[in-house]
Structure 1
Amino acid sequence: MNAASIRLNSVSKSFGPDVHAVQDVSLTIEPGSLVTLLGPSGSGKTTILRSIAGFEDISSGEILIDGESIAATPTHRRQLGMVAQDYALFPHMTVRDNLAFGIRSSRRARRERSRLSSGQVAERVDRMLALVGLDGFQARRPQQLSGGQKQRVALARALVTDPRVLLLDEPFAALDKHLREQLQIEVRRIQQEVGITTVFVTHDQGEALSMSDHVAVLNRGRLEQYATPLEIYDEPATRFVAEFVGRINLLDGVVASGNAGRTDVVLADGSRIALEGGRETPAGERVQLSVRPERIRLTHASERHDDGLNTIMGVVKTVVYLGDRIDVTMNTIVGEIAANVPRDRSGDTEFADGDHVRIQFAYGAGTVLPDLLPS
């Protein structure tokens, strides 16, 4: 398949004077990559996808595929494949006929109609069903398929026309957790094997982090951050990203000094926290220190500890056992802090309400964010 690049230049979309669904979004999607549009309901992610597909006209800006504006190109000529949440399969057709219909109705097929034999159509259908793990399902009808099988058929039908771009609009939303996780792995494998440029829409953070080359986090129509999953999780650019993607501890502080890749932050109780890396922040600026619960090392106050780590003292408030780990929430002078602690057979991770504990994390485990309220 011929993978295409996609470029959004200052794209905005309004529905009337008061509803600004997308506001000045710019990003570049490289050929062959999978990019996820991630955000809560109303963030603009589906509007962007529909605009790429041609189902919505943007209010301003431009969308380019392979460097060419698609503003005047109707949907059927954009060479896109799309998978929706409801599968959109024809119930009266077999799996084979669902895919064959896509081939015969595509723009490419109309150009090749005189050269495309029934045997060639059948060969292409069989090849695509084998790719999605449904070889032998050609004669079945949609009502004879499970939810996961229907989703695979929908994916095969989207790919069988050899599109330049694949659009996935929350395709796993109707599936149970176990099946979702299976299909996430399968869709990523297929996308990489085929090498098609893919735009994926979801509100599920885990889905976005596990499947994507890059993630665009959207909030109220604005692009909060566009980066790799690792950067999104470990180096959130805004408070919204930090709170929306995974769990986070946020502590108020003031920058005491910042130079040579190190920032010292003084917390509300006067304690000093050292951070490595991250953005340069001038002394005196009010900030929020963010640290993920799983980056915290938790010990009882009476136990031996590492003096080379940032340290905050606290008292256990709640303990929740989650099988392979323990979720511990502590009260501290600088605010409530949560830690996600792996289970330890030696008993070193046994904590109870009221225990005095030492909360520690490495200098590179935290991130400094501007001290701004969520927008």
Structure 2
Amino acid sequence: MMIKNFILTVFLLVCISAFVNSQSTVGLSGAVSVSLNGDVVRSYIYTDSNLISPSFTLSGVSIGGTILNGGKGGSVSVDTSIFKLDTIRGIFKIFPTYFFNYFDFKADVNQGISANATSISSIFMPTFVVEYEETNDQEGFQYGSDTLLGYVNLAQLPYTLSKQTTTLKVDDESFTVYQVNLTSSGSKYANLFQMVFYVSGAPIELGDNKLSAEQSKVDIIINGYYGSNNVKDCAINGNNVDLGCISTGPSSNSNSRLALTSFYATAGLDFSLNGNGDINIDGTPLNAGFSWVSNAQVKVNGSSSVKTVNIFANTTASDADGKVFGSASVSGALSGKVFSKFLVHSFDVVRPNTVLWDPSIGASVNSATSVVFSFGLILSLVFFVLSL
């Protein structure tokens, strides 16, 4: 047991090296532990940084086997699930980039050292809040045929980071559920845009969502776009999008609607789009990818009530459109052969005051990740421990 715990610790250390507040989203009070049902308990370690622009990492090593093989019969099996948010690369601010990495390793002490690695690396990267008028008789925002009224560049916003946790139990094993909030800040853009990340060390139900220990729920909140905390930094110029501009400020157009542009990408493994709300990574024994719901919760000015509206997902926008809205940043986030999809999610409501939307990224018993550390280094470390 001591050897196994040490291996888990070493594995984790290598992995690490290589509405506008909690009331607007479900919150940790809504987290309920559920049966493992083939999943594992993970020991997540949280680290963050607020140098220039905030980032965080949650690295979770499995306890008592992996979601793929369970570590039975004299074998030592570990896997790790890593969620990481970056808003800066080097000294340059970037679009908020949320990574999901998974790595599985097995060493059998009865049959010598054998390794069967499953790995996945993927990102979700929201880039712009887009204001538009529907003028082409097609549902949702289509760049070049609908009227572009304004935008907010999510790479240029200032942000702050905050964290809350709660502890739950499953099968007498304690685990931690994390809620991490990335919120736009400053006098000009306070609370305009927020991402709320949920990661759990074991399966939970969170509101209407069920999350495995390898999945993350992301609440995206656009708040007060048409209000005083969306200050004009540059003028709208036709269909041109200025990557150096923070915001054009809101228009006065009475038919204005909002959309969110984003990218989902993987390294090394291609993916398939199933229907209009689910992306699955190909070539892995895990069920890994990115999914989103077909509706959002909104508030409009003059009303305190929350209503549910449809989301129109455009998954067939051209690569040329993607370049306008930040595709060049995708290749900088992942190494190797990169597969990416430009996504536009439009909210079916006129001039909303608040929009809440919650996609999910990660895996369940069936995902993978190309991580930055050396597999050879992990193998040699484990071999050294087993030979003691």
Larger relative strand fraction: 2
Which structure: larger Rg?
Answer: 1
TM over 0.5: no
What band does the TM-score fall into relative to the shorter chain?
Answer: under 0.3
